[in-house]
Structure 1
Amino acid sequence: MTMKYPEAIDYLYSRLPMFTRDGATAFKKDLTNTLALCSALGNPHNHFKSVHIAGTNGKGSTSHMLAAILQVAGYRTGLYTSPHLIDFRERIRVDGRMIPKRAVSHFVASNQPLIESIQPSFFEVTVAMAYSYFEKQEVDIAIVETGLGGRLDSTNIIMPLLSVITNIGYDHTNMLGNTLQEIATEKAGIIKPGIPVVIGEWQLEVSGIFERIAAENRSKLVYASQWWEVESAGKDADYQYLAATRRNAVSGNSYALDLKGSYQAKNLPAVLCAVEELRTMGFTIKDGHIRQALAQVLPLTGLMGRWQTLSSEPLVICDTGHNADGWREVLANISATPHHALHMVIGVMRDKDLAMMLPLLPRDARYYFCQVAMPRALPAQELQASATSFGLEGTAFTNVDEALRAAKQHAGVDDLIFIGGSTFIVGELLAGFTH
């Protein structure tokens, strides 16, 4: 059977349960379907090396930075991330290049009977497609980002060389648990017997959980934040500069990052520790490779939506941060960005905890509430009503384009327009900018 790319994408989107569209009902709480799919495909995940990355915030940036470093070091590198912002193929890359359309359509067409028999979710099929593609492309190593959680995440059938968990915060509590300890237990599910694990941030509330599970698995555990101290060394139009000093070292290294969000200072220690672990396994990664890669993560891996500047006069910036911790980092970046008045174009999903998020937002900003066209999206009018109860004043719009147009009409040349609150708001925005 042959199938054109638009048909394949339509099949994936319309035929399969999809978390980004349907929410918790599409989340399969076991690995049965993924294991069955991959078994029928010859277990492709057993035929390439990998690094597995989980965490509440920063796992996408960490994945892209690590992939960029391995690419510059000369390794054929697979990268699996989710969700995508504009193009489905963003999820599956080799050396920064998206999976070809013909590879997507061929996979769907040739495996449609298998998919129909197993009845997997959209994410389960996407994981199987990525693993199959990485095997066919004979990658030297694949960086695999979890979708949601860790223990029961579809990606968690791999036996990686290294596990990385960036941090733990409140997000998807309806599926992962209502306490940091419950969420940490789910994320720690990617820790495998005898496989070293790097934890990006030491957090008092959850450190005992990681230490217990690592000990049970006899896995070496490293807290990156205890090994590396990273400080801002300034920024310019093209880069932010970070100074990283290893514990007990007399001097450190300076890195220019084309990822400009200040929160990358929290992600960098995990990246550096991951590189150190890979070096002990025989990977040749020089300090020059790291510097070169971090200065060009965006062109190397195609990362978008992380404190991304879209235009100036007025300054327009978007960011995919969407939970309480993500918002704290976004607001720190806003505070550090010179501007006169602040205009906030925001939309959220129904499953977000507004009572935790809205009190964080500045009351002196002008708000433009919007939504994307998917069932999970919270209607803009409902978001506006909730925001008003927290003293946030603004207007509701049917989509992000209308909201941004209104913000631009009201903004002066020295103002800042920020767009965010949801990965999907940013995705819809960027799709408009690229077409």
Structure 2
Amino acid sequence: MFTRDGVSAFKKDLTNTLQLCEALGNPQRQFRSIHIAGTNGKGSTSHMLAAILQAAGYRTGLYTSPHLLDFRERIRIDGALIPKKSVTAFVSRHRSLIESIQPSFFEVTVAMAFDYFSREKVDIAVIETGLGGRLDSTNVITPLLSLITNIGYDHTHMLGNTLQEIANEKAGIIKPEVPVIVGEWQPEVSGVFERVAKERGSHLVYASQEWQVRNHGRDEDYQYLETNQRGAANGVLYMLDLKGGYQAKNLPAVLTAVETLRLKGFSIDEAQVRQALKQVQQTTGLMGRWQTLSRDPLVICDTGHNADGWREVLANIAATPHRELHMVVGVMRDKDLDKMLPLLPKNAHYYFCEVAMPRALPAGELCTAANRRGLEGAAWGDVSNAIQAAQQRAAMDDLIFIGGSTFIVADALAALGFKS
């Protein structure tokens, strides 16, 4: 399984998913969908759209990955986890099929999600890709709308070493005559999207060219983002319970998607959009996006894990009042430390840690590499020990940040008693 083992468990092919879906009666054709890909922001974007659709009264499926605390987080309807009995029933019912096809964990999970959404008769499902797009297991759907948030360097050993190669993989979710929204216009990759959209007869919109966003700051409960749509006389102020500053980049894509859905007959009014964005976490169960875990001292986690994600995290840290900074950090083996470590602040105390999976870089190796680059800290083994060490050293007005990997955040949430 890729989540645990990495590239050795990655199956870069759609054959197994197509065979599974065919045997299940092609459930992916029984519900409407939105398909979302991108290097960063696709999880937040997926959850914001799901929250809006729920607020508008639509029975909404949501498929995302990876999970943090419970496998069932990957498959939700109206924010509720797929019941345990539905998971076990699917596996029992299709055991012989699974044994004959020998699909990956991710391929089985995608088929399970599509089967569940079909059986439960969702009005629409928001489907997030797992890795890439073109050959991702979710890419057997024909959605109402495709959405690509942005392109950055991540999983280069599987998706390509240039932004253009990565964009080409993400552009694989663009379907013939299906409109596509790209969240951020980036000069390095715009030509890729424009070429693929033209070849497939898909209307392409860059959300960042349709909306201007101004950040009005944040308090303990919300961040305040004012949006101005191109050609509109007045702006709209949104209150988001997702308080990471990077949501200013995700919001235009979400609002553009809402506009597109309205053109397709969906009834979504502005009051529903505003209310949904105020309670995305409560509505959909999203965790790990600039999430406050405790106060005095302030403890915040974030799942950002590539170079672009770290830049956003560090911008949020800089905007958060604190005296001293404590960083609980762990990474996977596939991360490029030569790109990541120079970004990290030298005026922080580091607590290096690891999760119990083959993909994890041992804390000692990370510590050695970081120390060579002038980052002061020690290896603490598992995440729980690292957090305890940071809490013992931190003063009440300090900031403890936990991140570097989705799996580090998952262990932190578990250690601090959070549940799905």
The interval holding the TM-score normalised by the smaller chain is over 0.9
Gaps of 5+ in 2: none
The 5-angstrom pairing of residues 315-394 of structure 1 reads 315-394=298-377
Q: 1:300 aligns with which of 263, 280, 283?
A: 283
Q: Distance in 2 between matches of 1:26 and 1:223?
A: 34
Q: In structure 2, the residue corresponding to 1:397 is in which secondary structure? A: strand
Deviations for 1:45-87, whole angstroms, at most 9, x for unmatched residues?
0100000000000000000000000000000000000000000
Partner of 1:260: 243
Q: Which one-letter code corresponds to 2:97 in the other structure? A: L
Match of 2:15 in 1: 32
What residue in structure 2 maps to residue 209 of structure 1?
192
Amino acid at match of 2:287: M
Which TM-score applies when normalising by structure 2?
0.99
2:225 maps to what in 1? 242
* 1:185 alignment partner in structure 2: 168
- The match for 1:276 among 252, 259, 263 is 259
- Residue 81 of structure 2 is aligned with which of 98, 103, 112? 98
Q: One-letter code of the match for 1:321?
A: G
1:289 aligns with 2:246: no
> 1:181 deviation in Å?
0.3
Separation in 1 of the partners of 2:63 and 2:416? 24
Distance in 2 between residues matched to 1:393 and 1:119, nearest whole Å: 46
The residue number in structure 1 matching 2:393 is 410
Amino acid at match of 1:273: T
For 1:71-86, what aligned pairs fall within 5 Å after superposition? Answer: 71-86=54-69
Instruction: Give distance in 1, aligned partners of 2:157 and 2:30.
Output: 35
What is the CA distance between 1:248 and its match in structure 2? 2.1
After TM superposition, give the deviation of residue 237 of structure 1 in Å: 1.2
> For 1:93 and 1:231, how far apart are their aligned partners in 2?
32
Once residues 196 and 276 of structure 1 are traced to their aligned partners in structure 2, the CA distance between those partners, rounded to angstroms, is: 12
The one-letter code matched in structure 1 to 2:217 is: G
Q: Which amino acid aligns with 2:164?
A: Q
Q: C-alpha displacement at 1:114, in angstroms?
A: 0.6
CA distance in 1, matches of 2:281, 2:198: 37
Deviations 1:370-405 (A, max 9, x none): 000000000000001111121111000110000000
Distance in 2, Cα, partners of 1:237 & 1:415: 16
For residue 210 of structure 2, what is the aligned residue in structure 1? 227
- Cross-structure match for 1:7: none
d(CA) in 1 for partners of 2:139, 2:339: 30
Q: Supply the distance in 1 between the matched residues of 2:228 and 2:307 (Cα, whole angstroms).
A: 29
State the alpha-carbon separation in 2 of the partners of residues 334 and 244 from structure 1. 23
Q: Which residue of 2 aligns with 1:50?
A: 33
How many Å apart are 1:368 and its aligned residue?
0.2
Per-residue Cα deviation, 1:98-124 (whole angstroms, up to 9, x for no partner): 000000000111111111100000000
The aligned residue for residue 194 of structure 1 is 177
Give the secondary structure class of the aligned counterpart of 1:412: coil
Q: Distance in 2 between matches of 1:434 and 1:135?
A: 34
Asked if 1:426 corresponds to 2:400, the answer is no
Q: Structure 2 residue aligned with 1:70, among 53, 57, 75?
A: 53
TM-score, scaled to structure 1: 0.96
In 2, Cα distance between equivalents of 1:140 and 1:35:
23
SS at match of 2:195: helix
> What residue is the counterpart of 1:107 in the other structure?
90
Shift of 1:313: 1.0
Aligned-partner Cα distance in 2 for 1:335–1:141: 39
SS at match of 2:76: strand
Read off the aligned partner of 1:54 and give its amino acid letter. Answer: A
Q: Aligned match of 1:151 in 109, 121, 134?
A: 134
- 1:14 is matched with which residue? none
TM superposition shift of 1:433: 2.1
Given residue 156 of structure 1, which amino acid in structure 2 is its aligned partner?
Answer: N
What is the Cα deviation at residue 234 of structure 1? 2.3
Query: Which residue identity is paired with 1:386?
Result: A
- The answer as to 2:23 corresponding to 1:23 is no
How far the C-alpha of 1:304 sits from its partner, in A, is 0.1
Q: Which amino acid aligns with 1:68?
A: A
Structure 1 moving runs of 4+ over 4 Å = none
The amino acid that maps onto 2:366 is L
Q: Distance in 2 between matches of 1:382 and 1:37?
A: 41
User: By how many angstroms is 1:250 displaced?
Assistant: 1.5
2:44 is aligned, of 61, 78, 92, to 61
Cα deviation, 1:95-154, whole Å, max 9, x if unaligned, reads 000000000000111111111100000000000000000000100000000000000000
Q: Which amino acid aligns with 2:23?
A: A
SS in structure 2 of the partner of residue 356 of structure 1: helix
Q: Deviations over 1:242-272 (max 9, x none)?
A: 1000012221111000000000000000000
Alpha-carbon distance in 1 for matches of 2:242, 2:368:
34
Computed over aligned residues only, the root mean square deviation of the Cα atoms, in angstroms, reads 0.6
Q: Give the structure 1 partner of residue 292 of structure 2.
A: 309
The 2-side partners of 1:306 and 1:145 are apart by 16
SS at match of 2:147: strand
Superposed displacement of residue 434, structure 1: 2.5
**2 CA distance for matches of 1:62 and 1:120?**
28
Q: List gaps (5 residues or longer) in structure 1.
A: 1-17
* Aligned partner letter, 1:71: Q
Q: Percent identity?
A: 72
